[in-house]
A and B are shown apart, each in its own frame.
Chain A
């Protein structure tokens, strides 16, 4: 049972506001009319990804307030509850490395996961990650599909291991030999 100090943000609708809302809208809009491609199909996908990215970069951001927002309905959280639970734990295990000992991080991940401050931490990382993702995909050249693809590739590169680096060199060779469509 969740105490008064506990707040599970995955049980209610979640709303992005202000600048963060704009970022979410941009990242879930069509970037190529011909193929109807979107960077993220739905907000929940971006939500999960952002939390991981924020934690990876140890980047936090406070939620914006006010104005008209864009929502993730609670139903979406229910549909992705297993993944969300896993990501929440992962964030709690690996986040705040500079502040907490491993044992404390494991304890909060496995014994006190549902405490409010843990969800707050998740939210801070998620919003920090959102900014990183947005800035990665949207720059002055982001008009054509190919530029978005280059941005995606650059983004992935930051997460890949050594084996992937070698494999990708070959792929890039093929990509660069083809003109922009």
Chain B
């Protein structure tokens, strides 16, 4: 396939007619289209998609200015056309869509696809389903992303291939097989199987002998059973693989929690301990203040008690009583009117007043007793105050230790709890693991049973066929039909075997080609493997390279290597024509596809960029690269001499862009 040109009319920012011509010079096979960010590079890839399949990533394909200027009753048209050579035939594929404005609403009519097939200057127009089918024959929609590589989708394609998602898409595998030339053979074998069945029915119809008919019916029934069994075996294979993987996955998860139960116990013990510490801590907090409330005053009065002691030093002066004499004795003297010395005491004599004063300071009015009692209490208060303060200090120390204990245990508990997060799910994992294992075992059993049944059915068919051979000899028509059927079966068997062998060989070749391209990007440090569904598996043996590989750009390389290898292999198939497989391969469409890439190098480093410029031109006849203005000069330097055409998309404003040849 060689693209000649693309014509755009009113598609999004490309207002009016704009055209890009692609280089077809085998020596200068590269066309580069440079544009600043959001100029419209990706839009052009989308235009190809829209032309081929009527789909694109945009809801609105009209130009915004044109849309806003439309008045009620106006009609607008978007039309794009691609011209290319495919299988030596020139094609014009055009899609157009008409938009009508009624009142404020713009209605879009269905887009129309027209395919012009031009052979020897004579054009034949295909429309409708015929046109759609032809487009699909040329490039199947599932393969479009692999040849028209958008920047983001290039990553996506690579990721899908590496993750095995592509292989889940049977259409993808089918499309790859088609590109490798197996669809024709695959369809032929299916046809042969149908023909063989037809013969079988014919033989049954022409069989008159009842026993023979019964045998025929038996053979057909058994064959149908075998087909069903084989279908079931395929399903079982997939299901058992799934269940095995899942049971492994669950087992791995369970292993992660192997010591979780022990940790859970420790966690509980720690939580209990933490509760105890918290409780102690709270108690200590409360005690600290409640003790202060009830006993603190005894400590606080310490200084005052010392002051009081000081005051008591003059106690004797205060208590000026006469030893051994109490107030009662004085009162007696006053009542008798005579002192101990014999002097008469009268109320007007000075001695009377002195003795009256003595009553005040002699017992029981003496304060000595009270002071003694006070001192005793004071001593006790001091002692209690000191004890209180000792306890206060201990309490504060204990509080600090409890805080530290709390902090340490809390940290320990947090670490353990984090480690056992998800423990609740373990029992679920265990249940699931058992479930998957049981299902896997059941499927294996079923598979064994089915294989036995197939063997029995095959034996039965063989035995029946032998019996039928005897009958067929007597019936000429049946004998003839049987002969045809046997011949048909023989060819079918041969073809299936041939296809399997060829596909395996091609797969090996494909793998080699991918690895050759990979080597150029990663210097043999990374290789790939292909499974039966064409999924890519990455094998990295070099740690350093592994890091390099995972640093970005790898998905793009995977996608490019895969596509490059298919294109290269296709070229080989084409060049091997006219050899021993000429009859079969003559029908193949061994077309070398161009590569259309949008910003393929945006994630590349310098080394990958160089490898890209060196490798990709080797694998295909035509390369069209859309690149931003920053990477453009580097690409041009590296591809110097093989750039045939160069275009620039100039962004005029947010809604307009212009395509110009050259810089």
Contacts and interface: CB of A to CB of B under 8 A. Distances in A.
B435 to A, nearest CB: 48
A35 B283 contact: yes
Interface string A25-56: 00000011011111111100110110011011
A175 B300 contact: no
Given A39-B293, A89-B374, A178 B404 contact: yes
A73 to B, nearest CB: 17
B396 A171 contact: yes
A86 B299 contact: no
Assign chain B's interface to a size class. 35 or more
Interface string A80-106: 001000110111011001000011011
Given A94-B311, A159-B300, A152 B292 contact: yes
Contacts of B285: 32, 34-35, 37, 145, 149
Contact of A90 (B288, B308, B397, B406): B308
B76 interface: no
B370 interface: yes
Interface in B200-227: none
B334 to A, nearest CB: 21
Contacts of A171: 393, 396-397, 400
A39 B290 CA distance: 7
A42 to B, nearest CB: 8
B289 to A, nearest CB: 5
A164 B401 contact: no
B392 A156 contact: yes
B403 interface: yes
A167 B386 CA distance: 13
A72 to B, nearest CB: 14
Interface in B162-198: none
B399 interface: yes
B314 to A, nearest CB: 5
A37 B289 contact: yes
Contacts of A109: 374
A117 interface: no
Interface string B302-318: 11110110111011011
Given A48-B297, A106-B367, A175-B396, A181 B281 contact: yes
Given A35-B282, A174-B397, A177-B400, A160 B290 contact: no
A31 B288 CA distance: 13
A178 B305 contact: no
Contacts of A105: 311
Given A36-B286, A94-B311, A160 B396 contact: no
B367 A110 contact: yes
Contacts of B99: none
A181 B301 contact: no
B405 to A, nearest CB: 9
Given A52-B304, A149-B288, A177-B404, A106 B293 contact: no
Interface in B88-118: none
Given A35-B285, A106-B371, A181-B281, A153 B396 contact: yes
Interface in B346-378: 365, 367, 370-371, 374, 377-378
Contact of B377 (A37, A52, A86, A177): A86
B571 interface: no
Contact of B401 (A42, A87, A106, A174): A174
A41 B318 CA distance: 40
Given A37-B289, A93-B307, A164-B389, A87 B283 contact: no
B138 interface: no
A118 B439 CA distance: 97
Given A37-B285, A38-B290, A179-B403, A106 B304 contact: no
Contacts of A89: 374
Nearest to B385: A159
B276 interface: no
Contacts of B374: 86, 89, 109-110
A161 interface: yes
A178 B403 contact: yes
B299 to A, nearest CB: 7
Contacts of A86: 374, 377-378, 381
Contacts of A41: 290, 293-294
A91 B311 CA distance: 12
Given A55-B304, A171-B396, A106 B315 contact: yes
Nearest to A181: B403
A94 B307 contact: yes
Contacts of A135: none
A37 B371 CA distance: 38
Contact of B318 (A31, A42, A106): A106
Interface string B404-442: 101100000000000000000000000000000000000
B296 interface: yes
Contacts of A55: 304
B286 A49 contact: no
B311 A93 contact: yes
Contacts of B393: 164, 167-168, 171
A52 B300 contact: yes
A171 B315 CA distance: 41
Contacts of B365: 111
B19 to A, nearest CB: 74
Contacts of B290: 37-38, 41
A50 B233 CA distance: 95
Contacts of A8: none
Contacts of A103: 314, 317-318
A15 to B, nearest CB: 20
Contacts of B400: 171, 174-175, 177-178
Nearest to A89: B374
Contacts of B315: 106
A107 interface: yes
A174 to B, nearest CB: 4
A48 B381 CA distance: 13
A49 B310 CA distance: 22
A38 B293 contact: yes
Contact of A45 (B293, B314, B371, B377): B293
Nearest to B365: A111
21 contacts: A35-B281, A35-B282, A41-B290, A41-B293, A49-B300, A102-B310, A103-B314, A103-B318, A105-B311, A106-B367, A110-B371, A111-B365, A152-B288, A156-B296, A159-B300, A167-B393, A171-B400, A175-B397, A175-B399, A178-B404, A178-B407
Pick the 4 closest A-B CB pairs, nearest first: A178-B403, A110-B367, A35-B285, A174-B400
Given A39-B289, A159-B299, 18 more contacts: A35-B285, A38-B293, A39-B292, A40-B293, A53-B300, A87-B301, A93-B311, A94-B311, A106-B311, A106-B312, A149-B288, A152-B288, A152-B289, A156-B299, A156-B392, A175-B396, A178-B400, A178-B403
Interface of A: 31-32, 34-42, 45-46, 48-49, 52-53, 55-56, 82, 86-87, 89-91, 93-94, 97, 102-103, 105-107, 109-111, 145, 148-149, 152-153, 156, 159-161, 164, 167-168, 171, 174-175, 177-179, 181
